[in-house]
Amino acid sequence: MRVGVFDSGLGGLTVVKAIQALIKGAELFYIADTAHAPYGEKTPAEILQYSIDITDYFIERHQIDALVIACNTATSAAVKTLREQYPELIIVGTEPAIKPAIEQTRTGNIGVLATPATLKGDKYQQLANDLASQKDVTLFEQACPGLVEQIEAGEIDHPQTYQMLEAWLHPMRENSVDTIVLGCTHYPLAADVIRKIMQKKVTLLHTGEAIAKRLLGLARERGHENRGDIRVTLYATGSLDHNAVTLLLGYSPQINTVTI
C-alpha cells in the first residue's frame, strides 16, 4: 500500500508516528508544505488549491492508494472536494476529538485549542453543535494564532510560547476544564507545556491513533494484509527545523525538498 500524508508543517508527523506504530506493509510519503504554512491563517480557497496540488503530486509521482490529510484546517477546507475528485483513493481526514472528549470529561467542561480557520470552518461548527447538544457540556473554544509558527521554529519551551498558552488556558483552568481537545496536529508537540500551565491532571486528546485505525480499516476492506515493513520518505516544500523533526521522530531522517 502506498500512502500520501500531508500537513502544512511538522504537525502531521504526529500522525505519521501513529501510522508507523500500527500499519505494516506500506510505503509512506509525507509532505510538509512549509512554503505555504501556516494553513490556519489562509483562505479556504487557498488551502483547497494547496491540497489539490499535493494530491496530484502524490498520484503522479508515487501512485498512491490512500491519502491522509493530517491537518484539521485542510480537512475542513478540502476533504469533500478531494473525495469527489479522486473517488479511487482511500481518503482519511482529521477532525478535532470532541466526541471522545465528551465521553471522557468528568466536569462537563471541555477545552478546544485549534487554528482560527478550523474553529471558523463549517465542518467544525457542525461537529461541535451536533455533539454538544447530545450531552450537557460546555466547550471553551480558543483560537491559537501563532502557536504553529512557534512549534515549527522549535520554540516550544520559549517564554513567548508559554505566555501565549498561559493567556489562552487561563479561562480553562479557572473553569475546571478537565479535558482539552488538541484541534491541530501540531499541538501534541506542546503537550508538556499545556499540562504544566493547567496545574492539574488534564486529559489531552489528539487524533493520530484514530486516523491510523481508520486508515487500516479502510485498507483491509481493499485487501491490505498488514504485514511486512513500512518505509517513510519525507518531503518539505520550504524550510524546516531539522532538530524538531529529530526530536519528534526519535531519529534524524533525510528530508527531500520538493516544489509543488
The one catalytic residue among 10, 19, 71, 148 = 71
Average pLDDT, the chain: 92
71 is catalytic: yes
Predicted structure pTM score: 0.82
pLDDT greater at residue 154 or residue 104: 104
Residue written as cell 485505525? Answer: 213
CA nearest to 31, candidates 61, 65, 4, 1: 4
Residue 241: the pLDDT is: 82
Distance CA 119, CA 138 (A): 15
144 is catalytic: no
Q: Is the pLDDT of residue 245 over 80?
A: yes
The one catalytic residue among 117, 184, 194, 202 = 184
Non-local (6+) Cβ contacts of 250 within 8 A are none
Residue 72: the pLDDT is: 86
Residues 116-156: tens digit of each pLDDT: 888 888 878 888 888 877 788 999 999 999 998 898 888 88
Q: Decide if domain 2-94+208-257 falls under CATH 3.40.50.1860.
A: yes
Confidence of residue 189 (pLDDT cuts 50, 70, 90): confident
Choices 1.10.760.10, 3.40.50.1860, 3.10.20.70, 1.20.140.10: CATH for 98-205: 3.40.50.1860
The structural domains of the chain, with segments of one domain joined by +, span 2-94+208-257, 98-205
Which amino acid does the sequence have at 7? D
Residue written as cell 511486512? Answer: 228
Which amino acid does the sequence have at 108? G
* 98-205 matches 2-94+208-257 in CATH topology: yes
Q: Is the pLDDT of residue 217 over 80?
A: yes
